[in-house]
Amino acid sequence: MSISAERYILIWSEAFAAVLSQVGGSSFTVETSTESVAEQPAEIFVRFNAGKALSGEQALSMSKAHALRFAQMLLSENPDPNAAFTNDHVDALGELFRQIAGDVVVRWKSAAQSEIELQFVSMETPTWKPSSSIFFKIKGSEPDLGIVTLLSSDLERSLSSAAASVGANQTHAGLAPNTENTISDRNLDLLMDVPLNVKLRFGRRKLPLREVLDLNDGAVVELDQDVDEPAELILGNKVIARGEVVIVDGNYGLRITEVATPQQRIASTGA
């Protein structure tokens, strides 16, 4: 792997440690290794497509048992290896890995001074042959958890190009087998200034096209929400909180009375 590919893997390991420590409520560490990849069961996949400074596809594979444990973490469920892997767990796993990929994007920008995208593709088995594979051993749960990341040849080539454009003075130290990465305050600080657009919803109503075309000045559209019910705060098409509408210096505001749990965020929709 190129220096930039090694750095990319290192950033993923840091993101795993940071996000899992936050979600799991305890400290997680990650060891990266090129060894024992073939021994890891590849039953569940999460795939991302890279964009902007990078191009190509990446897949992360794991056993079904470990995928279940990751999903249980996000859903705040007690560890139960015998639990059924439901659609809720599938959705939670996808949401968790999207959060981790988002952390990777922020860390890459800070480290390489360039922007990348990691867009969720699917949870289907990739049809392409990986150019390289790295094993992540995640410690902090009993038992240890394992993930293998697979890089397509297109992605590895774009990482090599990124290494050439960044220059030697901005490269990380090379990836060493069994390198341990721990969460730090700086890891979380990288996310603090990321701008997010949130929406306030008082209620909603479905209208046939005929009624929409008949709307004019002074028309009243009745919503499906009682005036005493809390308004909803929406982020990324998910309801993340509810509260009372207030006026602050002439502007609408929301006094939070309820923050949605991870289970509620996955089940909700802002559509």
Q: What's the confidence (pLDDT) of residue 42?
A: 94
73 lies in the same domain as 182: yes
User: Among 147, 161, 146, which residue's Cα sits nearest to residue 54?
Assistant: 161
94 lies in the same domain as 130: yes
Specify the pTM: 0.65
User: Among 155, 152, 98, 151, which residue's Cα sits nearest to residue 123?
Assistant: 98
Least confident of 76-80, 173-177, 212-216, 224-228: 173-177
222 lies in the same domain as 102: no
10 lies in the same domain as 120: yes
List the domain range (segments joined by +) for residue 18: 3-189
CATH of the domain at 209: 2.30.330.10
Final residue belonging to a domain, choices 150, 168, 189: 189
* In contact, 12 and 151? CB cutoff 8 Å: no
CATH of the domain at 150: 3.40.1550.10
pLDDT-derived band at 265, boundaries 50, 70, 90: low
Q: How many separate domains does the chain show?
A: 2
Q: How far apart are CA 87 and CA 172, in angstroms?
A: 39
174 lies in the same domain as 251: no
| Proportion of the chain above pLDDT 70, given as a percent | 83
Residue 224's Cβ-count burial label (10 Å; 0-12, 13-18, 19+) is exposed
Amino acid at 258: E
Q: How far apart are CA 84 and CA 231, in angstroms?
A: 35
Least confident of 35-44, 63-72, 176-185: 176-185
Tens digits of residue pLDDT in 64-73: 999 999 999 9
Tokens linked to 48: 């991302």
Ramachandran bin of 12, using left for φ above 0, alpha for ψ from -120 to 50, beta for the remaining angles: alpha
Q: How far apart are CA 122 and CA 180, in angstroms?
A: 29
User: Among 13, 30, 1, 11, which residue's Cα sits nearest to residue 170?
Assistant: 11
103 lies in the same domain as 146: yes
